[in-house]
Amino acid sequence: MADGQHPDGPAGRDGRIIRGWPGPARADGVPPVLDLGFDPNTLQTLRAQLRGCVRHVGFPEGQVEDVVLAVHELAANAVCHGGGAGRLRAWNLAGALYCQVDDGGLATDSPAAVNSLPCEPGHGLWVVQQLADQMQELSGPDGTSVLIRFDRGAMRHFG
pTM of the full predicted structure?
0.74
Query: Which range marks the domain in which residue 85 is found?
Result: 36-151
Report the C-alpha gap between 66 and 82 in whole angstroms: 23
> pLDDT grade, residue 38 (50/70/90)?
very high
Name the nearest CA neighbour of 84 among 132, 41, 142, 26: 41
Whole-angstrom CA distances from 148 to 22, 64, 73 are 9, 14, 12
Q: Any idea what the CATH number is for the domain that residue 79 is in?
A: 3.30.565.10
Please say if the pLDDT value at position 97 is more than 90.
yes
Report the DSSP beta bridge partners of residue 91.
Answer: 98
| Number of folded domains that form the chain | 1
- The pLDDT, as a whole number, for residue 35 is 95
**What would the pLDDT profile of 109-155 be if each residue is shown by its tens digit?**
444 434 444 444 567 888 999 999 999 998 888 888 999 999 998 76
- Residue 1 domain-assigned (yes or no): no
Higher pLDDT, 30 or 23: 30
- Residue 123 domain-assigned (yes or no): yes
- The pLDDT, as a whole number, for residue 23 is 44
